[in-house]
Amino acid sequence: MSSYSAPLKDMKFLLKDVIGLAEVGSLPGCEDATPDTADAILEEAAKFSSEVLDPLNVVGDREGPSYDAATSSVKTSPGFKEAYRQFCENGWNGLGFEPEWGGQGLPKLVSTPVLEMLKSANLAFSLCPMLTQGAIEALVLRGSEQLKTTYLRKMVAGTWTGTMNLTEPQAGSDLSLVRTRAERHTDAENGAHYRLFGQKIFITWGEHDVAENIIHLVLARTPDAPEGVKGISLFVVPKFLPKADGTPGRRNDVRAGSIEHKLGIHGSPTAVMLYGDKGEGAVGFVVGEENRGLEYMFIMMNAARFVVGLEGVALAERAFQRAVHYSSERLQGRDLVEGRTVPIIRHPDIRRMLMLMKSQAEATRALAYDVAAAMDIARLHPDETRRKQAQGYVDLMIPVVKGWSTEAGLQVASLGVQVHGGMGFIEETGAAQHLRDARITTIYEGTTGIQANDLLGRKLLRDGGGAMRAWLESLKPLDSALAGAKNPDVVALRGPLAGGVQALIDALKYFVATAKQDPRATYAGAVPFLMLTGHVAGGAMLARSALVAERKLGESGADADFLKAKIATARFFAEHILTQSGGLRDAIVGGASTIMAIADDKLIAV
C-alpha cells in the first residue's frame, strides 16, 4: 500500500510563481511570510503528515472510535490522541491566528497548503482542528471580550477543541426548523447565562478524548424569539464549565447520546449531542446579540465550506498518488506498439484516467490557493477598493471551491478505484477508503445543490451578474497572454478557455432573463452552472500556471520535467474538461423543461 507524499513542488510553484506569495507577504501583519519561512513550514507539515498522520489513516478507518454508553464517552482510534498532542505541541492549530491569542499570524495562503496535507494524509483526524478553527473565527469576530478571554487561547493552542451544532433530526439544511431552546437564567456560579435543552445530530468530533475540553457552538431559540431563521441565536456551551483560573471545572449538562456508523471517515467520531437531558439544562453563553445566530454561524460555515472544498483537493491528490503507484507496479496486458507485457500505466485508457485525476487535483488546488490569497487581501490590504474587489471574488468563488472541488474529488476517488480494477473494490488496497471518505464532502456544510443555489441566487442574480461579469472581465489579459505565447501547447489553451468563458456569458444572460418569470427553470440549471464555473475557473488557473511554466523553462537551472508536465496537464484539462463547457451551457439554457416534466407520482412506473 502506497504512502502519502505531499506535492511540495506544485504547492511551492503555486505560492511563489503563480499566485504571488510576495504580494501577500507585503500585507500588514504578514511580513513574516517570507519564501524561506513558507518553505520551512510546508516541509515540516509534509513530514508530520506523511510520518505521523498517514500511517493512522487506515487505522482510523478499520478501528474507529468507540462509544461507552455508561459514561457517554468516546475513545478515539489508536494513535489519534498521541498524534493530536504532537499536532498541538508543534503549533499547527494556531498557524493562521493572531499572536494576541497565541497564534502565529501567518496568512491564509500559507496555512491552506498545510491544511491540504493534513487532509490528504488523514481526513478523519483533520476534521477536529477544522471545526475548532471555524469556532475560533466566529468568536474572534463576534464573541464578547469575556468569551474571547475565557476560550480563545485554549482553542488556538488546541487544548480545547470546538464544534458546530446546527442540524437536528427534523431540521437538516432548513435551519428555520431548529427547536433547541435556550432559557435565560442567572445564578451565583455563572452569572447571567442561558440553559439549553434539545438534540443535535451529525456533530463532527462532538465527543472525544484527545483534548481536555470541548467548546460547542450551538444554534437555539430563546422563548420569545420570532419564528424562522430570524429567531435563532448562537451560544457557547462548554463540555466542562471553566473555573476562575481557566481550567476545566464541573461537567455541563451536555453529553453524546451515541456516535454514528458511517460510510466513510470512520476515524472521526460523529455524535448525537443531547443538551439538558438531565433536566437542569446545559449552561450556555450567547455570542453577540440574540436572534443573530445564523448570521454569526455563517462565519463558521463559510470558513468550513472553503476547507471542505480543500478536502476535495486533498482526496483527489491522495487517490491520484495511490493510483499512480499501483498502475506503475501492476503488470497486465501487452504494449500496443512494442508487444511486450507492461505495467498498466502504459495503456492509453489508464493514462487517460490518471490525467483526469492529475489535472483535476491540480486545477482545484490552484483555485483554492488563489481564493485563499484573495481572503488575505480582502482582510488586510490597505486600499479599500482592492479589499472590496478581493472580497467580491471570494464571495463568488466560495461555493465553487466547495461544490466543484468536492465533486471533482469524488470523481477522482472513483477513478482511483477504476484504475485498480477489481483490486480497487478490495479494502486492502486503500483505494476504496478514499471513495467512501470523499462521498460526504459533497454533502456536508451544504450539498452541491445548496452551493449551486447560493452561487446562482445570492452571488449572481442578487446583483444581476455583476460579480461574475467582473471576474470574467479580469480574464481578458489572460486571453491576450495566451495569444502571445510561443509554446504551441500553451497557445492551444486559448480556444477551449475562450469557449468556456462564452458558455458562462450565455448562461448568465439566460439566468438574468428568465429568473423572475420561471424560477424553476432557472434553478434547474444551478448545478450545471456551478460545474461550468468551476471548469472555467480551474482552466484559467492552469492556463496561468502554463504561462509561468513557459517563462521559467527559459531560466537556467529550471526543473524542465516539472514545468513541461504543468503545460501538458493544462492542455489535457483544456481539451478533456473545458471542452465540456458547451454541453453544460446547452443543458442550462435548453434542458430545464424535462426536469419537472413528469408528475411526482409518475416517476416510478408500476
Could you report the per-residue pLDDT of 327-352, keeping only the tens digit for each?
999 999 999 998 899 999 999 999 99
Position 134 in a domain? no
Cα 441 off chain centre by: 8
What is the distance between the alpha carbons of residues 122 and 102, in angstroms, rounded to a whole number? 25
Residues 545-599 have pLDDT tens digits of 999 999 999 899 999 999 999 999 999 999 999 999 999 999 999 999 999 999 9
| Residues making up the chain, counted from first to last | 606
What is the distance between the alpha carbons of residues 588 and 515, in angstroms, rounded to a whole number? 12
Do 30 and 108 meet the contact criterion of CB atoms below 8 Å apart? no
Position 19 in a domain? no
Residue 108: DSSP 8-state: H
Confidence of residue 229 (pLDDT cuts 50, 70, 90): confident
Assess whether 384 carries a catalytic annotation.
no
Position 503 in a domain? yes
Checking if the pLDDT of 297 tops 90, the result is no
Position 2 in a domain? no
Do 258 and 200 meet the contact criterion of CB atoms below 8 Å apart? no
Q: Tell me what the mean pLDDT of segment 355-375 comes to.
A: 98
Confidence of residue 44 (pLDDT cuts 50, 70, 90): very high
Q: Tell me, what amino acid is at 269?
A: P
Do 263 and 250 meet the contact criterion of CB atoms below 8 Å apart? no
pLDDT score at 517: 92
Position 206 in a domain? no
Do 137 and 61 meet the contact criterion of CB atoms below 8 Å apart? no
Checking if the pLDDT of 299 tops 90, the result is no
Q: Tell me what the mean pLDDT of segment 405-432 comes to.
A: 97
Position 541 in a domain? yes
Confidence of residue 175 (pLDDT cuts 50, 70, 90): confident
What is the distance between the alpha carbons of residues 61 and 94, in angstroms, rounded to a whole number? 27
Q: Which residues pair with 256 in a beta bridge?
A: 273
What percent of the chain is modeled with pLDDT above 90? 92
Strands (E) in 18-76, as ranges, are: 66-68, 73-75
Confidence of residue 2 (pLDDT cuts 50, 70, 90): confident
pTM of the model: 0.96
Q: How many domains does the chain have?
A: 1
Q: Which of 47-56, 140-149, 163-172, 391-400 has the lowest mean pLDDT?
A: 163-172
Task: Say how many CA atoms lie within 13 Å of 331 toward its Cβ.
Answer: 3
Q: Tell me what the mean pLDDT of segment 406-421 comes to.
A: 98
Torsion of CA 369, 496, 548, 117, to 10 degrees: 30
Checking if the pLDDT of 465 tops 80, the result is yes
Angstrom distances, CA of residue 149 to CA of 140, 276, 547: 10, 26, 48
Checking if the pLDDT of 176 tops 80, the result is no
pLDDT score at 194: 98
Checking if the pLDDT of 300 tops 90, the result is no
Position 176 in a domain? no
Catalytic one of 82, 445, 550, 555: 445
Q: Tell me what the mean pLDDT of segment 359-370 comes to.
A: 98
Confidence of residue 170 (pLDDT cuts 50, 70, 90): confident
φ and ψ at residue 426, rounded to 5 degrees: -100, 130
Q: DSSP letters along 331-374, please?
A: EEEE-TTT-SEEEGGGSHHHHHHHHHHHHHHHHHHHHHHHHHHH
Which residue range is the domain that position 512 belongs to? Answer: 448-592
Q: State whether residue 464 is helix, strand or coil.
A: coil
Position 502 in a domain? yes
Mean of the per-residue pLDDT values for the chain?
Answer: 96
pLDDT score at 9: 98
Nine cell digits for residue 143 = 464573541
Angstrom distances, CA of residue 60 to CA of 65, 97, 322, 387: 8, 28, 18, 42
Do 136 and 152 meet the contact criterion of CB atoms below 8 Å apart? yes
